[in-house]
Amino acid sequence: MSRRSKSPDTKADEEIYACIKASPPTSFVVTAGAGSGKTTSLIKAIDRVIQEHGKTMLMKKQKVACITYTEVAADEIRADVNADVLVHVSTIHSFYWTIVSSFQTDIKLWLKQDLKHRIDELVTKAQNFSSRVRQSTRDNNRRDQERLKSHLEEIESVSSFRYGMGSDYPNGVLGHEDIIQLANDLLKFRPLFRRLVALRYPFVFIDESQDTFEEVVKSFKMVEEQMRGHFCIGFFGDPMQKIYLRGIGSIELENGWRGITKSENFRCAQNILHVANAIRAQGDGLKQERGLYEEVEGKEQPIEGSARIFILPNTSDRKLALAQVRAWCAKADSDEGWVTPELAVKILVIVHRIAAKRLGWEDIFSALSDRSPDSIKQGLLDGTCWPVQPFLGFVLPLVAAMQDGNEFEAMNILRTQCPRLAASNLVGKNAAQLLHEVRKAKLELVRMMDGTTSCSIRDVAVHLRDTGLLALDERLERALRLQGVVADAEDGEAAGGQSSDLPVLRFLDCPATQLIPYGQYVSEGSPFATQHGVKGAQFDRVIVVMDEEENDFRLYDYEKVLGDAQASAGDRAAFAKGEDNQWSRTLRLLYVCCTRAKRGLALVFFVADPNTTAAHIKASGLFPEGGVVTEDILIKSRRQTGQDRVAVVPS
């Protein structure tokens, strides 16, 4: 039994158990707000499946599958279920690969058909080019056709395929998008495949279901429809926390399914919960209850906490303004945690570029994000894209160990990853001389990364290759061979290479020192995070920066949610009819941001007309009494305390 299974059951848990225990089990959709213990309910559901059906499943060599949105979430659940042999926990990509990997013939057939389809699309596009289409666009189309045709020929000799970080068809590697499309197609068009999945995994639970691709949901619904009575699917999610554009959001109940609502919130202090409920009232209307409690003299008491919004002119110095807000909150709450330089406060910004700029890795962000393939762009943000792997997985840990004087850890890293220290390469070698050379190479690596040189990431990669400290990915080796090529910034094509080489070439030209703050960011060792990147997380104190200058292609507009209601009247009406738009996207993002905070919440809103905006927000009732703070209040507070200027808090 897992740790979370010992927690008291909620009404929603009892309803889930009823679905699992039914004969046959009933598929269901759980809607659970932020901080409700949704994942706890999922884990308890897994335990209940094992209690009710474990013996039968063990005899049939079946498992209950739990599909999560991230690998971090998967690891968390694995730890809770104690790696039970009856439980398979993975991301959707890994799960899909598990069920398709043994069908190698089908994989090759599908890939050939997919490549032919993509070639045909390019041919049709080229045939329909108007006379105004630039020659460079025509040339890129032709090169893409040639590349895909080459892949079509090369995969004939591929004996087996595997799942990797990015697509590399000639070497038998399928990327994230390939796996999703492949599995969905097999589930959609192959009844036998659907049957095999159901017989192998009679229970499938999907966490964060609102962010699941619509096609994935459709595929599992097809399995359930065909195998009803032998297959039970459970979705655990919250449509109000759908903040990724590809997510399905709400999941419609099929005939015979059960809808379950979990309304508790165990995370947020009362004032924060008030704000969250006021925001949610404009969406689906679900009202959460309870809030965060603490034990005082043997009795549980609710924690009031703090929730405020600071309305500041958009001409403000952002860094200074945030420091002043933190100092004001520290005084108002009698809580020095607001101004400690450590990770006592999480600062949320709307886009990764802003976080990268403030933390000092903007060049890396631009290189691997602007006009880059989705696989690289997405993998940049969680540190999984292949170009960064040698640096995150080897260079930074080795340099950190050396700088800390931890020779044991440094040698352990080298022993496991340095090819020169592989047992097969030590035969007949002068061990003392070899260790001397390796030590010299790692000391030089530390020097290259310490900020005293102007080394590029390319310089570091060449050093790794030439000294034999690390064996580089063949794709990275190819990029190094392209040194000196001229990149056409307008067309996204690298002369002498492939279009996919360009982001890697840009990355290699970035300063090596930017790898350190980038590594801290993806490992959550930074006070900054994006408003999207913290979903599912919680922090004692949260600052949400709402700044239209930081907006990403106008996908969001906080003025429509927090300003004059007339400005969003059209969007609200369209949302009521089922249309997702700027207002509804922003509302959901605001809800997610606010519900990350446990004890203290500060929204910092930079606007052109602070007085008007403040009046609208006060009238809305979103914040508790005194929860709307304007610049004049900040100034007055500083004068009362004898502070003309607040020192900038280190971040």
Q: Which segment, 415-419, 584-588, 597-601, is predicted with the most confidence on average?
A: 597-601
Q: 254-258, 489-493, 519-523: which range is least confident on average?
A: 489-493
Give the global pTM. 0.78
Whether residue 342 is predicted with pLDDT greater than 80 in this model: the reply is no
| Nearest alpha-carbon partner for 506 in 376, 357, 351 | 376
Q: What is the largest CA-CA distance in the chain?
A: 81
Count Cβ atoms below 10 Å from residue 289 Cβ, excluding itself: 11
Q: Which segment, 23-32, 393-402, 552-561, is predicted with the most confidence on average?
A: 23-32
| pLDDT for position 225 | 96
| pLDDT for position 524 | 64
| pLDDT for position 532 | 66
| pLDDT for position 456 | 94
Whether residue 651 is predicted with pLDDT greater than 50 in this model: the reply is no
The percent of residues above 70 in pLDDT, for the chain, comes to: 90
- For tokens 């010299």, the residue is 440
Give CA–CA dist 306/269, Å, rounded. 8
Give CA–CA dist 571/569, Å, rounded. 6
Q: In the chain, helix, strand, coil percent, each to 5?
A: 55, 15, 30
Whether residue 315 is predicted with pLDDT greater than 60 in this model: the reply is yes
Which amino acid is it at 305?
G
| pLDDT for position 307 | 95
Whether residue 222 is predicted with pLDDT greater than 80 in this model: the reply is yes
Which amino acid is it at 168?
D
For residue 556, give Cα distances in angstroms to 125, 150, 408, 553, 590. 32, 42, 49, 8, 10
Give CA–CA dist 138/156, Å, rounded. 28
Give CA–CA dist 557/32, Å, rounded. 26
Q: What is the pLDDT of residues 522-556, one digit of tens each?
A: 776 666 666 666 667 889 999 999 887 666 556 78
Per-residue tokens: 79: 């730890």
| Nearest alpha-carbon partner for 527 in 388, 395, 337, 365 | 337
| pLDDT for position 573 | 87
The percent of residues above 90 in pLDDT, for the chain, comes to: 52
Q: 36-50, 247-261, 268-282, 471-485: which range is least confident on average?
A: 471-485
| pLDDT for position 496 | 41
DSSP for residue 48: H
Q: How confident is the model at residue 328 (pLDDT cuts 50, 70, 90)?
A: very high
Q: How confident is the model at residue 648 (pLDDT cuts 50, 70, 90)?
A: very low
- For tokens 């001229």, the residue is 486
Decide which of 554 and 304 is more confident: 304
| pLDDT for position 642 | 52
Decide which of 486 and 140 is more confident: 140
Mean pLDDT of 188-209: 95
| pLDDT for position 491 | 44
